[in-house]
Structure 1
Amino acid sequence: MPGYYIWTIGCQMNKADSEHIAHRLERAGYSRAQGTEQAEIVVLNSCVVRGSAETRVVNRLNSLKGLKKKQPGVTIALTGCMVDSRVDDLRRRFPWVDIFFRPQQWQYLEDWIDERELSGSGDRHDTMTLPNRRVTAFIPVIHGCNNFCAYCVVPYRRGRTRSRPLSQIRSEVEALVEGGVKEVTLLGQIVDLYGHDLPSRLDLADLLAELNKMEGLERIRFLTNHPNHMSPRLIRAVADLEKVCEHISLPVQAGDDGILNLMRRGYTADQYCRLVAEIRRHIPEVSLSTDVIVGFPGETEEQFARTVDILSRLRFDKVHIAAYSPRPDTIASRKLEDSVSSEQKESRRKRLEAMQLRIAGEINAGLVGRTVEVLVEGVKGARWWGRTRGDKLVFFPGGVNPVGQLVPVRVEKSTPLALQGISD
């Protein structure tokens, strides 16, 4: 049986896309290979949201040049956000790559398979069954983005927002649950906008309520949210629906109003803080994560200090910190000078990381002695691991295989990144 290998970098949407690609390849008669040298098809799912991510993709592509010389019959495909309308430029840069296709344009890969008479069995359809047994799965519910934040390349690479019909999502989740999945994460660049473009005018709260009824499904998550679209109705849904996890990803990006305005985020730091207070009022046990960009064009030390202040006051469970890098086509790259030095960016990033490590350590230490519900996902060494409803990573020893089960674990130790305990 011919093999395939998929390398993925970037957001959860990319991971979901890779799962769909794997499903289509397995349906066509391919099996998962352990590495590129064992594969007849190698797919790179790229990300260019940050300059560092694009560099890793380019390095990976260059490493495959030798593979193509050694194994001329191997097919190399590139997808993800690196693939835009300028495919001819990519072909000139990477002539050893055989196929280029944009996110969700899997038909190009399927057409290639058909041309080589390697088609699989069954009708093609939009409902995806995982190629291997897993406990959790990512489900894209809305594609693209209309926001055009100044720093972000996503609208240019994934297009305008397009919500999937609720019936299609429900069918996909039902198939996943039948295959053993216990937790789904609903994905969207701004997931709060789900349904705004559908004739039914359903919203994300309606979708959560519908999936909450499904037997066999234990947990529901969703990301990423935008502060301007996190509605009171959605907050109440998280508070009231028992299968929806008390975990919200709410990017702030900066703590200074001037920088937020340049970023085209559409809110002030005070409005963001009031939203967080409202979320915590309705969901006292909520776990909050956020994203921050340091070194945005023109950011002064005084403005950066306001970002330090907002993170210090709001005390997030997780903070994803990135140094600004100009992205092609974006408003910031066209209109703003990348004026903050790389040394300043790195210094600011490290200062925030050190502060957040301390805050996360203090938050996790507060869970020692408590019993938490863990959905077990796998084993590492002699310990099982899984995540709490608040998305905390938990390790614990045990005997009988508990993968896929909800296990109560009493927390005995903590670090900023994980919890350790014993199953009750």
Structure 2
Amino acid sequence: MGWTSCRTGIHVTIDEINKCLSSGRIFTTVKLPLHLESAFRDYERDHRRRESVFGLALGTFFYIAVLVLDRVVAPDVFVQDVLTRFCVGLPINLAMIWLVARPACGDAVRQAAGCIAGLTCCLTVTSVMIQSVSPGAAIYFSGNLIILGFTINLVALHTPVAVLVCCGITVIMIAGAALSPLGHPAMVVCYTLVGVLQTVVCVFANWCLQNERRRTFLTLQRDKIRLRQISQQRDLLEQLAAIDPLTGLANRRGFDAMVDADLNRAEVGTPVCVAMIDIDCFKAFNDSYGHPRGDAVLRAVADAMAVRCEPGQRLGRLGGEEFAVAAVGTDHAALPALGERLRRAVEARALPHGRGGAGPVVTISVGLAGSWTTGSVLDTGRFFALADEALYQAKRAGRNRAVVTVEEPPKASDGLRLAS
């Protein structure tokens, strides 16, 4: 069983998701099919954009804030450092933040903006520090490693792009150490080794982060499928719990729920028609012919009445040989025709009987009651009590007949009192 996204129309199965989750082993990427890859990018777009804006803004803040440290580390190039950062680095970074912050920003633009911002910071810092003869400037090139970490992880670059950026920043750092007036071979070798190690660590962290994002996305999709399956199974169980398995009609629980829903939608004073139906001498039929044939009669009677019920008339099996029909909003004048229609439909099936005082074929007795809604929770019980009394009258009168009883309409004053 699968799940179809209402927004993308993509169909996904749990087996497909589990296969994708198992693909992300050590040093391999969690692979997604094309349709899932597209859904993943849609899912990530806004989150990645906000994350990139935050990362670029935080990196820009620290890029300017470390000028306080520069005043101590490289005082001989401090003025040039301030001008370079404020006149070159800051405008470029702000432009990149603006680009990424736009809702229409695509993934390619976001990736490019992160690369440009990171490389700009490294180039501006290195271009100033290679002109300094202050002893502290020699170790300042290691600050590029911080920029490297910020760029590929906080800006959330894709792993292939992160590799290129790491290599670029490492090359800039090594070149700065080599071109510095204070540089020497040992320092170049040291920065080379540190840069390579930092690149490996950062790229691995980036790869783990990308895979974790994909696993999270797939897990969410799998949870959605399972929740939908549970919801569908719950709905199915609720439907089955409201259906009589023998006749396919609503059982007592389902019938009451339908009638209550109709009554809740009805206004006070709406006419209500209710019919209670009982198969005549059904116990004698079961005792004579057996329960399998009795079940067949129940199905046949239910089918005969279901065919004759009109839209809006609720038919259900209350239990045993008892059935009921309820119609909210139907005029009471329709009661005699309803009872006779149901009675004739069953009699026309010509199901053999002739046991226990019954006629030659299976028949029903129908008690019909007409009343009005009052808005009271006791309405349902009152309606069926009236119909049940009419049914007993039909039984006492000789069975195979319909008896109708109609309540007096409520007085205007009663309606006002009940409505209040």
TM-score bracket for this pair, using the shorter chain length: under 0.3
- Greater RCO structure (CA 8 Å; 6+ sep): 2
* TM-score, normalised via structure 1 length: 0.17
Larger radius of gyration, structure 1 or 2? 2
Q: Which has the higher helix share?
A: 2
